[in-house]
Structure 1
Amino acid sequence: MKKITLLLILFGLTGFSQNIGVEKEAFAHTYSIVAKDTVTGEMAVGVQSHWFSVGALVPWGKSGVGVVATQSFVNPAYGPNGLKLMENGIHAEAALTQLVEQDKGRDFRQVAFLDAHGNASAFTGEKCVESAEHMVGKNFSVQANMMLNDQVVPAMAEAFATNSHLALAERVMEALKAAQNAGGDIRGKQSAALIVVGPDKVENSWEDKKIDLRIDDHENPIVELERLLKVARAYEHMNAGDLAVEANDMEKALQEYGTAEKMFPENLEMKFWKAVALANSGRLEEARPIFNSIFAEDKNWKKMLSRLPASGLLSISREELASLTEE
């Protein structure tokens, strides 16, 4: 991690790296995909590697601008500098070409750019470790190096093309799974990451990434990444439920919390907020057995419930609250 931190500092001081030798740079021999959803305008990067914390350096993205995957002997400057060029109106191919020409370590690089218009471009240096190649298609690019065989990249491209019915994040997951099933990294598996950014520029940095998931060290990072994506989708419904509560739309809240609970029925928090929405909708008797089952597993939720009226999140009488919380 000290090596990576030092690299980031150096890149931040010097802009685009031209003079740092590849022997000092972080490895990320890996497979990845950059892609755009033509319906929603979302853009994504998915990546897996037998290297610790691949998500720290490989995937970059900015809403309304584009996405970047920089790998092999990683030059992280391709990320922020590539996004800056694309934000200034330079399309993906021209932006990537400009940065590659400035990079003295380009023979060791593998990089892919995709801009907000769906233009994709990729570069694979001559000294990337076999099997190394890329394939650029309409609204996507897949690339890999140090793979077990030359079937990985075609498998990713086919999986992305044949799963157009899926949301972008899930479609990218299918490409990653296909890569692994085709042989994947010759060294095995360790880390993975997935980011999704929106079609429009945002004012606040915290609104930039719609999905931002990282598996830094795991025996089966793709499996774990897919699990976390499912959790993220469930919590999207939870967040929508929270917004409905703020708007005093308890029926909408109940619908969103219920959908989340169906996705993860063992999750106490999802059960809890569904029960709260029921209580706030005047359906206390439906909520009661749900609360009781939650309290039986963890009594802290009973204390939590008693604190909600003061925040305006629970609109039942004191007597009704007491009937739920008294021993």
Structure 2
Amino acid sequence: MQGFLASFTGRCAGLWPGLWCLIWGMALSPAWGASPAGRADLTLGPGRPRTSPLRPVSTYSIIAIDPEANEMGVAVQSHWFSVGSVVTWAEPGVGVVATQSLVDVSYGPLGLDLMRGGKTASEALQALLRADEGREVRQVAMLDVRGNVVAHTGSRCIPEAGHQVGKNYSVQANLMLKATVWPAMARAFETTKGDLAERLMAALEAAEAEGGDLRGRQSAAIKIVRVRPEGPWWRNVVMELRVEDHPAPLKELRRLIQLHRAYAHMNAGDAALEKNDMATAMREYAAAEALAPDNLEMRFWHAVGLIGVGRLDEALPILVPILRKDARWMVLLERLPKVGLLPSDPAILERVRAALKK
């Protein structure tokens, strides 16, 4: 097997990163599960440990899994531009990674690759740490679909820094104002009711209330995926939202989550309307509009849906105030019959125009 591994990694020489090939070579080896003394180091080649440029994405984050809801995810806030593009990694049916501090972004995709190949979160994290000369400035957390959760805080992460692993979650933070930040996150996650997004947000808000990042705040992100994928891959990303640069990123992220939920209700209403399930459609539309009362477009398409199933009388009280507020919606309404999104019946538009004159 050692000869096979040498041949395997030799064929991969020169590819970036060579670590990809070596990981899979190691994953195929029975020695992978052996004692450290019997296990080869995970490197880019003889005498070439994995290194990466230092990126000071100091932050606080949480990863968590809700097996009953079939969801797992990660959420983060930092005084760093576009933190979600660096820290948050999640793949349906595979696992979740948060990589931060003086960050090596490759922990995200490589960790997911290892877990996709059957390694536990702990096995994946330990493999990557062994290969990383900069492990003591890294802070990384991983979880897999079996509910295994693990975290690492290097000894040279900027204080205050630490993590706490609990049932189905891990919270981790570095460069915090106080060492009470991550325990506060853990308490908030454990005690908050609601769906996974709500509990992740509660943890972030608890961190901020406890003093948060010593430098302040700038960006935030949340990503939630299915534990057990169902149907096309794109249906298994439950939520993926980012606030790239904002004076109050958590407040803005919460607003986006509420808007995301509103559109989910809107989509469910449209689906019910297509099946002529009016009771469900009206319930979903009402829920959407309650979450986003100032969103004219939601109400517009609600009205269009009603017209499409022959319920113009119910559509007019919704539609007319929108058209009076902004005449451009009338321009759009007039274009819809041409593309089949409204019945091609001139009497419909005539009734709408008549209602506008009243």
Same fold (TM over 0.5): yes
Aligned partner of residue 215 in structure 2, secondary structure:
coil
Question: Letter of the aligned partner of 1:37 in structure 2?
Answer: D
Q: In structure 1, what is the Cα distance between the partners aligned to 2:15 and 2:230? A: 25
From 243, 256, 262, give the equivalent of 2:290: 262
Equivalent pairs counted in the alignment come to 316
CA contact (8 A) 1:28 1:49 kept: yes
- Match for residue 74 of structure 2? 45
Of residues 124, 130, 135, the one that matches 1:106 is: 135
Deviations 1:121-179 (A, max 9, x none): 0000010001000100110000000000111010000000001x310011100000000
Of 257, 275, 278, which aligns to 1:229?
257
Residue number in structure 2 paired with 1:154: 183
**Deviation, structure 1 residue 217:** 0.8
Aligned pair partner of 2:174 in 137, 145, 149: 145
* Structure 2 residue aligned with 1:58: 87
C-alpha distance 50-233 of structure 1, shift in aligned 2 (>3 A): same
Specify which of 250, 253, 266 is matched with residue 281 of structure 2: 253
The question of whether the paired residues in 2 share the 8 Å contact of 1:37 and 1:43 is answered with yes
Stretches of structure 2 lacking an aligned partner (at least 5 in a row): 1-13, 21-43
Partners of 1:36 and 1:140 within 8 A in 2: yes
Does 1:117 pair with 2:146? Answer: yes
- In the other structure, the counterpart of 2:269 is 241
Aligned counterpart in structure 1 of residue 247 of structure 2, from 219, 223, 228: 219
Task: Give the direction of change, closer, same or farther, for the CA distance of 1:299–1:11 in structure 2 (3 Å limit).
Answer: farther
Provide the C-alpha distance between the structure 2 equivalents of 1:204 and 1:109, rounded to a whole number of angstroms.
Answer: 34
| Offset at residue 224 of structure 1 (A) | 0.6
Q: Give the 3 Å change call, closer, same or farther, for CA 202–13 of structure 1 in structure 2.
A: farther
- SS across alignment from 1:243: helix
TM-score by length of 1: 0.90
State how far apart, in whole Å, the 2-side matches of 1:123 and 1:91 are: 15
Q: 1:12 to 1:309 in 2, by over 3 A?
A: farther
Matched, 1:275 2:303: yes
Equivalent residues of 1:60, 1:67 under 8 A apart: yes
The answer to whether the Cα contact below 8 Å between 1:191 and 1:218 also exists between their aligned partners in 2 is yes
How far apart are residue 69 of structure 1 and its match? 0.0
Query: How far apart are 1:305 and its partner, in Å?
Result: 1.8
Q: Which amino acid is 1:111 matched to?
A: V
CA contact (8 A) 2:50 2:132 kept: no
Distance, in Å, in 1 between the alignment partners of 2:280 and 2:336 is 19
What's the CA shift string for 1:182-216, capped at 9, x where partnerless? 11001111111100011223675533421111111
Q: d(CA) in 2 for partners of 1:238 and 1:208?
A: 18
* 260 and 316 in structure 1: CA distance in 2 versus 1, 3 angstrom threshold: farther
Give how far 1:323 is off.
Answer: 1.6
Residue aligned with 1:210, SS: strand
CA RMSD of aligned residues (A): 2.2
Is the 8 Å Cα contact of residues 250 and 280 (structure 1) preserved in structure 2? no
* Structure 1 position 46, deviation (Å): 0.5
Letter in 1 for 2:220: A
CA drift of 1:301 comes to 1.2
Deviation (angstroms), 1:118: 1.3
Alignment of 1:194 with 2:248, yes or no, is no
Partners of 1:280 and 1:205 in 2: CA distance? 31
In 1: Cα distance, 2:268 partner to 2:172 partner: 36
Point out where structure 1 has 5 or more consecutive residues left out of the alignment.
1-9
Contact 1:70 1:78 in 2 (8 A): yes
> Could you say what secondary structure the match of 2:228 adopts?
coil
User: After the TM superposition, which of the residue ranges 307-316 and 117-126 deviates more from structure 2?
Assistant: 307-316
Q: Using the TM superposition, give the Cα deviation of residue 310 of structure 1 relative to its aligned residue in structure 2, in angstroms.
A: 4.1
Larger Rg: 2
Task: Write the deviation string for residues 94-136 of structure 1: whole angstroms up to 9, x where unpaired.
Answer: 1111111111110100000011111100000010001000100
User: Partners of 1:315 and 1:252 in 2: how far apart?
Assistant: 22
Q: Match of 1:294, SS? A: helix
Secondary structure of the 2:175 match is coil
Q: Partner amino acid for 1:324? A: V
Q: Say whether residues 1:182 and 2:210 are aligned partners.
A: yes
The one-letter amino acid of 1:60's match is W
Q: How does 1:10-25 map to 2 (within 5 A)?
A: 13-15=17-19, 24-25=53-54
CA contact (8 A) 2:220 2:243 kept: yes
Higher RCO (CA-CA < 8 Å; seq separation 6+): 1
